[in-house]
Every structure is written in C-alpha cells, then in structure tokens.
Amino acid sequence: MSGSFRRYLEAKRTVDDRALDRRLLSALREGLAARADREGPLSVLEVGAGIGTMVMRLLEWEVLPPGETVYTAVDVREETAADVTSHLREYARGDAATVETRGDRIVVETADRRVAVEAVAADALAFVERDDRSHDLLIGAALLDVFDLSGLEPLLRAVAPGGYYYFPITFDGATRFRPAHPDDGVIERRYHEHMDHKPGGSARAGGDVLERLRAMEGMALTGVAGSDWIVRPSDGAYPADEAYFLGHILDTVESAVGETIDGDEPLSSWMNARRDQLEAGELSYLTHQLDFLGQVRNR
C-alpha cells in the first residue's frame, strides 16, 4: 500500500466517525452483548478491512462486549497484514491498551476486553468459501458499492444463525461540492458513470443493497440509516487531516472523470477551481451513504 493511500485511510477515520449512525451501533452493541453470553469467544469477520480502523473504533466505542473476541480482518491488498499490525501498535501507544503478537494474531487488550486480530490478504468471497467458521458478526464498511452484489448472499453464509451483519458507509448516488460551480452537474454525472462501469461498482449501491437484503430469505434487516460524509472548513481550516482526505477525493474524481469525459467538457477548469478552494479553506464536500444492520435467522 502506498504511503499516500495509507494516509488517506487514516485521514478518513474522523470523517467516518462523524458519519456512522450511532443508533445502529447501539443496536449492534446490544445484540453482540447477548451473543457474548454463550461459551467461547465472540467471532467477527471484517472484509475490506483496510488498516484496521474499524476494530479500533469498535473497541474505543465499546461496541465489542467485555471478554474475548477473535477478529479476522480480510483485505484484498497484500500489504494489509503489516499495515494492520503497525496501526494497532500505534493505537495502543496513547490509550489504555496493550498490543502484542501471539503467533499469527495481534492481541489488543484493555482493562476488560481482549481482541485477537488476524489480518489476512485475500479476496473476500474466496476467503469465505475456504473458511469453515461461522461468525457472530460480519462487517463490510465502504464495501458494497465496489462489490458485485451477486456475491452478497454467499458472503452472508459466513454468519452464524442469530449472528449479525453490518454494512456501513455504502454509497447511494449523491456527490456534492460547495460552493456551487456551473459544471457540477456534468462532473457528477461522469463520476457516477465511471462508478457504474467498474467491475461490481454502482453509484446506486445503497438502494440496490436495500432491495436485495429485503428479498433474502432468512435475513432480518433490522436497521437502515444515513451515514453521509460531510467535510467542511471552519474559519478557513479543516479538522484533523481532512484537507488531505478531501484532496484525495478530488484526485479520485479527476482520474475517474478523465476516463469518461468528452474532450469538450470542462474537467480541468472545474478541478482548478476546486483545488484553489481547498487550498483557501473554502471547499465543502458531501456524499450520501447508507448503513445497514441485520440479523441472520435460522436458515
């Protein structure tokens, strides 16, 4: 993983933190607490796990119940294991937690929680097909808008009866930059067209996921909520490292739109205006997303 992409994943932590729906997380906390009463550790599978920010968030926000959790973090990138390890070690430096390596797992321990994290570089579906475990919780954050939804049902087979699935930060068809620009419409349209043409991609993934989950037998969709990314300056400055996050978003838009736009459409002038606004601390960004929480019934 390039340093710039890792920094982007780190920078979006605060953006995700604001976006995630707390009501659904509270419901997930209650559900996991009930499952933790059984014998043995809680089992969590996260696909598209990146550098491990979700496991840290679930620890910090006490969504994971007291006791022991086995957490498998799967990402298609080969560098994931090293990134997760170093990131968890950095996390432990300033918090009431210890981190140590035990075999192929990274064990994060607080006063009342122990989470053994195994980082795996693999395709999500390929991993589920060869893994014979059933999990209490399946997580896929910012995943389903770049995931072929024909694989959603096979992916959910990894969840044990009574277990939960949690798919937050699922893009749902809106990208806005402010102040308004005359070319916003064409840029957004081309950007979404690029999403639609990527393998497994969809600019309307949120609505598509909602329909599929409702139609699946044995699945209870217990909650849906908005989780919009909103990045805006205050007094000409952005919080944390969110200026870098927003710069990365602009780079992504430029690359995507550049592959679809006609020669007479004004990408360069739009990009120049947006980068000048970012540099001046004037640019705001909004994208509409959905969080999904559900439970697997007896199949």
pLDDT band at 1, cuts 50/70/90? very low
pLDDT recorded at residue 117: 96
pLDDT surpasses 80 at 44: yes
Read off the pLDDT of each residue in 104-120 and give the average, rounded to a whole number: 93
pLDDT surpasses 50 at 99: yes
pLDDT surpasses 70 at 113: yes
More confident residue, 4 or 151: 151
pLDDT surpasses 60 at 43: yes
Q: Lowest-confidence range among 85-94, 103-112, 218-227, 276-285?
A: 85-94
pLDDT in tens, 199-220: 888 999 999 999 999 999 999 9
pLDDT recorded at residue 28: 98
User: What CATH architecture does domain 3-172+201-230+286-296 belong to?
Assistant: 3-Layer(aba) Sandwich (3.40)
% of the chain exceeding 90 in pLDDT: 80
| Residue spans per domain, the chain | 3-172+201-230+286-296
Q: What is the DSSP track for the chain?
A: --HHHHHHHHHHHHHHHHHS-HHHHHHHHHHHHHHTTSSS-EEEEEES-TTSHHHHHHHHTT-SPSEEEEEEEEESSTTHHHHHHHHHHHHHHTTT-EEEEETTEEEEE-SSEEEEEEEEES-HHHHHHH----EEEEE-TT-GGGS-GGGHHHHHTTEEEEEEEEEEEEEEEEEEEES--TTHHHHHHHHHHHHHHSTT--TTHHHHHHHHHHHSTTEEEEEEEE--EEE--BTTB-STTHHHHHHHHHHHHHHHHHTT--TTS-HHHHHHHHHHHHHTT--EEEEEEEEEEEEE---
Q: Of 2-11, 72-81, 102-111, which one has max mean pLDDT? A: 102-111
Q: Lowest-confidence range among 91-95, 189-193, 248-252, 284-288?
A: 91-95
What does pLDDT average to over the chain?
93
pLDDT in tens, 125-153: 999 999 989 999 999 999 999 999 999 99
pLDDT recorded at residue 265: 72
